[in-house]
Copies of this chain bind each other. A is one copy, B any other.
């Protein structure tokens, strides 16, 4: 026991990794399994006691979790964050939140800011994962969990956006719609902008829908109204699939103001499953993800990462199709106008 203890630097040299990697290893940051194995071997060879080392190296727990989100002004985001917050609060943690307002640079700054605060863990509800994110997560001494976007080199919780999109597109095609608009959002958002869109379009193409249009907007109600108002001047789709319920509600409003009816003239599908979409007459057909579950899973996963318990690198949140009454079945020749 009195033999000279190996230092972190020596472990790093012997394992052939950077000193910062060894530091991350002890502090619960992300280290590739392969690298982790190398460090473990050196430690074992020297009878190094990682628990003692960890308690020396590890900064005192602050019992705070930093959460970074692109918006709080959406029902899905609010629901996710509220559930995450309730879970972590119950476990004795303080959750501090930064709302980046869809600004990716702000996400980067927020990660750095939370590191300077020495939070115990960071949850990033991401719009997009770029190289800077990857570098930051890789170098971070603090466990980081990504929610809503797939992250190859770390831990993430994702919604099954591609399959959800495919399900919506397939349903539209099977209901006999042949002239369909997909109202999507900016493709900077990888999950909603790219994957969801891809699922919808591929389903429509595979089911040989003859006329498929797409338009792009942002997440705001007012911008969507403008885009759809303009589109409806020259086009007569029988179906609009909108990337979020909020956008679908904007379509709803424009269709109604034009004196047209949902679903008789134009059918509608959204993504979200907000309580209010049920209140509309007719109620909105939508894809519902379990945001409450996603929030709880994010909370329990970051705690597992902090405690260095085993965690799956990717966890996928499922969805269900809520039929509602906003889709007309065009296969039935004017017998009944809606499906249940």
Contact = CB atoms under 8 A, between A and B. Distances in A.
Interface of A: 64, 71-74, 78-79, 81-82, 85-86, 89, 94-99, 101, 103, 106, 109-110, 113, 117, 221, 249, 252-253, 275-276, 278-281
B94 A96 contact: no
A85 B278 CA distance: 31
A298 to B, nearest CB: 14
Nearest to A110: B94
Contact of A101 (B89, B101, B110): B89
A246 to B, nearest CB: 9
A286 to B, nearest CB: 14
Q: Chain B CB within 10 Å — which of A82, A276, A278 has the most?
A: A276
Given A94-B109, A97-B97, A280-B279, A79 B73 contact: yes
A85 B97 CA distance: 11
A82 B73 contact: yes
A85 B99 contact: yes
A173 to B, nearest CB: 27
B94 A97 contact: no
B73 A99 contact: no
Contacts of A74: 78
B101 A82 contact: yes
14 contacts: A72-B81, A73-B79, A82-B99, A85-B101, A89-B103, A89-B106, A95-B98, A96-B96, A97-B98, A253-B278, A253-B279, A276-B276, A276-B279, A279-B280
Q: Chain B CB within 10 Å — which of A73, A79, A82, A95 has the most?
A: A73
A96 B103 CA distance: 15
A281 B261 CA distance: 13
A124 to B, nearest CB: 15
A237 to B, nearest CB: 20
A170 B79 CA distance: 35
Contacts of A98: 94-97
A39 to B, nearest CB: 33
Contacts of A99: 81-82, 85, 95, 97
Contacts of A96: 96-98
Contacts of A72: 72, 78, 81-82, 97
A89 to B, nearest CB: 7
A95 B96 CA distance: 10
Which 3 pairs, one residue from A and one from B, show the smallest C-beta to C-beta distance? A73-B82, A97-B97, A73-B78
A280 B275 CA distance: 13
B249 A279 contact: yes
A268 to B, nearest CB: 12
A274 to B, nearest CB: 8
